[in-house]
């Protein structure tokens, strides 16, 4: 699937000044409704013109951060789904402002995932590090059922950015990294992200992984 598998936040998308929620100059960003209404009218005859219209309003170079909880199945089996969801909700109430403080926009926090977009990879990586550090401080001294840990994947590139969602292969790659490849308390980024961070990012090569038929070089970020 070449798009986000997540729905918008129930409370509506939050925005912060200077964050990745602005449209390209000249036209407002499309809403999901407007976007899919355009696609319903897409035919071979009008595809080129309609695609240019969509691209001018919604295709942008962004960085996407995908956070997944660590040990979901085990923890729900041992402590129950309500205990897990209560702890997760309390943590997300603190983690989302951390994302926003780094100019990110949280598009979804359904199930046990967070999906956020940023204008620059450095902002996404700083947010990821701050999220892990906050959780480490919070978890210190707590009993195992009260602890919460995450794993994070980050990728960047052109994607369809709507007012309330994001679509594209870059989104799916970040989701695969965050959900399946990154380990507990780990920040795992693609080579594209690592290159944009430069030496200051201190990215360390981790391993190669095949995602969607392509091989990606993945790097860990110390924090």
Asked whether residue 46 is assigned to any structural domain, the reply reads no
- CATH code assigned at 155: 3.30.70.1230
pLDDT computed for residue 86 by the predictor: 95
Domain presence at residue 139: yes
101-115 in b/e form (b: 16+ CB < 10 A) is ebbbbbbbbeebbbb
Number of domains in the chain: 1
Distance, CA of 92 to CA of 89 (rounded, Å): 5
* DSSP state for residue 38 in the 8-state scheme: H
**Strands, E assignment, 52-112:** 59-69, 105-108
> Quick check: is 51 in a domain?
no
Contact 68, 159 (CB under 8 A): no
> CA angle at residue 149 from 100 to 111, to 5 degrees?
70
Say how far apart CA 168 and CA 58 lie, in whole Å: 12
Looking at the domain assignment, is residue 37 inside a domain?
A: no
Beta bridge partners of 152: 67, 187
- Contact between 170 and 162 (Cβ < 8 Å): no
Q: Which two tokens stand for residue 178?
A: 């965050």
**φ, ψ at 174 (rounded to 5°):** -60, -40
Return d(Cα 87, Cα 91) in angstroms, integer: 6
Q: What is the pLDDT of residue 2?
A: 36
Instruction: Return the ∠ at Cα 99 (arms to 190 and 87), rounded to 5°.
Output: 105
**Does some domain include residue 194?**
yes
**pLDDT on residue 199:** 83
> For 189, which DSSP code?
E
10: in domain: no
Asked, for residue 2, whether it belongs to a domain, the answer is: no
Low-confidence ranges of the chain (pLDDT < 50): 1-19, 22-26
**Domain span at residue 135?**
59-220
Q: Which of 171, 59, 186, 24 has its CA nearest to residue 108?
A: 171
Q: Is residue 103 part of a domain?
A: yes
> What pLDDT does 201 receive?
83
Pairing label, strands 150-161, 204-211:
unpaired
Tokens of 213: 């038929």
């Amino acid at each position: 699937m070449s798009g986000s598998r997540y729905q918008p936040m129930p409370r509506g998308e939050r925005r912060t000044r200077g964050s990745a929620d602005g449209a390209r100059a000249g036209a407002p960003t499309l809403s999901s409704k407007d976007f899919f209404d355009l696609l319903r009218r897409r035919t071979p005859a009008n595809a080129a013109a309609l695609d240019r219209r969509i691209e001018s309003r919604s295709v942008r170079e962004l960085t996407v951060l995908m956070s997944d909880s660590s040990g979901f199945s085990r923890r729900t089996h041992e402590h129950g789904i309500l205990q897990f969801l209560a702890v997760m909700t309390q943590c997300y109430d603190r983690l989302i402002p951390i994302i926003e403080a780094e100019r990110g926009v949280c598009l979804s926090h359904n199930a046990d995932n967070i999906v956020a977009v940023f204008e620059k990879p450095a902002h996404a990586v700083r947010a990821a590090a701050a999220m892990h550090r906050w959780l480490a401080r919070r978890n210190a001294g707590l009993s195992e059922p009260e602890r919460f840990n995450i794993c994070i994947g980050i990728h960047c590139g052109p994607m369809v950015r709507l007012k309330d969602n994001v679509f594209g292969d870059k989104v799916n790659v970040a989701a695969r990294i965050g959900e399946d490849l990154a380990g507990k308390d780990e920040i795992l980024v693609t080579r594209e992200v690592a290159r944009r961070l430069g030496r200051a990012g201190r990215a360390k090569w981790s391993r190669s992984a095949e995602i969607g038929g392509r091989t990606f070089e993945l790097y860990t970020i110390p924090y």
